[in-house]
A and B are shown apart, each in its own frame.
Chain A
Amino acid sequence: MDNFLIGLFLATLIISIFTARLYRLIFWYFVNSLMLGLLAVFIGIKVHDNALIVSGAITLVLKALIIPYVLKYLSKKFHLQRQITPNIKVHYSVILIPAILVFTFFIAEPISHMLQANPNDISISISSLFLTLILMMEHNHVAPKIIGFLTLDNALFLLGITATNGMPMLVELGVFFDILMAIVIINLLFKDTGVKA
C-alpha cells in the first residue's frame, strides 16, 4: 500500500512537470500533497507513531487543502497568466526525466544500504527532489516556481518519513511554520509581479 502511494506521489510529480496550465499544476500539487499526507498517516499507523499520524493529518489539512486554495485564490486575485509553457520542451523532458531517475536510483543505492529503510522509498524521494528542481528550472513565472518550491518541501518531507520512520514532531512543526511564512512572502511577491507576470 505504501508502495502504491509513493508511486502515485512520483507519478503526479512527473505529470506536473509536463503541465502547461497553472490551475492544472495547482491540482497536481494538491494530489501530490494528498498522497504524501495519506502516506504519513499510513506509515504512522504501521509503526504506531502518534506524532507521525498527527503531522500527516496536518499535512492533509495544510498542504492538501489550504495551500492549494490560497494559491488559486491569489492567482485569481492578481490575474496571473494561466498559460505557463515549460522552457524545456516535452521531447527533451522525455529523455531527461528517465535519465535523472536512473541516475538517482543508482546514486541512492549506497545511501539506502547505510540507512535501515526501504531502499525504494529513499531512491524515489531523492529522485523526486531532483525532479522538483527541474520543475522550478523550467518555468519563468513566479507561480509555478513557488509550486516547485512547495513540491520540493513535499519531497523533503517524504525523505524524512521514509528514511527515519518519522522525523521528530518538533522539526515537522518548524517546517510547517516555515511554509506558512513562505506563503506570506509569496503573497507579497505576487502583489509586485502580479501585473506583468
Chain B
Amino acid sequence: MILYLSTIILLVVISPLLLSFITQIKMFITFKKPISIFQGYRNFSKLMSKETIISEETSAVTRVAPFLILSPLLTVLFLLPPIVKGAYYVSFVDAFTITGLISLSTFFLMLLGLDSASSFGGMGSSREAFISALVEPAMILTVFSVSMMAGNLGIGQAGVNLASSFPQKHMASFLFSAISFFILLIAENGRIPVDNPQTHLEVTMIHEAMILDITGVYLAIVEMASSIKFIIFASLFASLFMPFGLQFSVPIALMIFIAKLLIICIAIALLEASTAKLRLFKVPNLLGISIVFAFLSLITFYVLGA
C-alpha cells in the first residue's frame, strides 16, 4: 500500500519537471540559454502566492471548475499500471473509464473557458472540443487493442501482463498502436504540431485561450492539471508500449521508469524543435492518421493474429 501511494505521489511531484525538461531540451537545441529544470515548481509557487481575481461576470462555475479539472486526472493516477514490482494496482479498469475521466476533465476545462464570456475563451473551448472529439475514438481503439494483446481488458493488469510476457507474435499490431498512441499523446497534451503551449497568439492558441481569464491559485491548479495530464499519457506510454524493467528491485525499476519518461520527453522535444505547427483545419488529418493506425492495429490483431 505504501509503495502504491508513494509511486502516485512521485508521479505528481515529478510532473512539472518533465514539462520544464522538454522546454529545456528545445531551448538547448535552438541555441537559447536553457531555463532551469525547476521552472515548473517556481511558476507554481509564484502563482500560489499571487492574488486571485475573479471576473464579475462569471458564475459559480469558475470557482468550482479548476478543482473539477484536477480531480478526474488525480483519479486516473490511481488507476495506472504499476511502475514497480509488488505495488498495488487496480486491475479491472478499462479503456473507457480512463478515456471518460480524461474527457470529464476536458469538459470542465471547456466550461471554464466559456464561463467568463470573453471571445478568446469561447474560441479556445470550441477548438478543444473539436480536437478532443477526434482523440477519444482513437484512444479507445488503441488502448483496447493493446489490452487485447496483453490478454486482459483492464489497463493495470495489461501493463503487468505485457511486462511479464511480451507478445513477440503481435509485434506488428503492437507497433501500429504505439504510433497511434504517440500521436494522441502529442494531440491531447497540446504539444507543437497541434497546439503551441508557449504562445499567446490569437490564431494558434487552444489551451492558453481557455485559461486567459483566471489568475492566482486557480491558474496554478489548472497548470498542475495539465502537467498531470501529460504524465498520465507519458506513463501509459511507458508502461504499455515500453514494457520492460518491472521485474527488477524497486529502486532500479523506478530509475528505469523515469529514464523511459525522459526518453519520451526527448522524443517530443526533438519533434517540437523540428516541425512547424499545423493549421487548425489540418489537425483532423493528423488525428485521422492516428485513427487509421489504431484501427489497423485492431484488424491486424484480429484477422491476421500478427
Residues of A within 8 A of B (CB): 1, 3-4, 6-8, 10-11, 14-15, 18, 90-91, 93-94, 97-98, 101-102, 105-106, 109, 118-120, 123-124
Minimum distance in angstroms from B292 CB to a CB of chain A:
6
* A11 and B179 in contact, given A101-B299, A102-B299 (Cβ under 8 angstroms): yes
Note all chain A residues with C-beta closer than 8 A to B295.
Answer: 98
| Complex Cα–Cα for A1 and B172 (A) | 9
0/1 string, B141-172, CB within 8 A of A gives 1: 00000000000000000000000000011111
Stretch touching chain A among B123-131, B200-208, B264-272, B281-289: B281-289
Note all chain B residues with C-beta closer than 8 A to A7.
Answer: 171-176, 300, 306
| Beta-carbon contact of A105 and B172 below 8 Å | no
| Complex Cα–Cα for A3 and B306 (A) | 7
| Complex Cα–Cα for A91 and B305 (A) | 28
| Complex Cα–Cα for A15 and B174 (A) | 17
Query: By DSSP majority rule, is chain B's interface helix, strand, loop, or mixed?
Result: helix
Note all chain B residues with C-beta closer than 8 A to A91.
Answer: 284-285, 288
Residue of A with least CB distance to B169: A3
Query: By DSSP majority rule, is chain A's interface helix, strand, loop, or mixed?
Result: helix
Question: Does B60 lie at the interface of the complex (its beta carbon under 8 Å from any beta carbon of A)?
Answer: no
| Beta-carbon contact of B303 and A11 below 8 Å | no
Note all chain A residues with C-beta closer than 8 A to B174.
Answer: 7
Question: Does B21 lie at the interface of the complex (its beta carbon under 8 Å from any beta carbon of A)?
Answer: no
| Beta-carbon contact of A4 and B293 below 8 Å | no
| Beta-carbon contact of B292 and A97 below 8 Å | yes
* A120 and B304 in contact, given A4-B171, A7-B172, A8-B175 (Cβ under 8 angstroms): yes
What are 8 A-B interface contacts by the 8 Å CB criterion? A6-B172, A7-B175, A8-B175, A11-B175, A93-B288, A94-B289, A98-B292, A102-B303
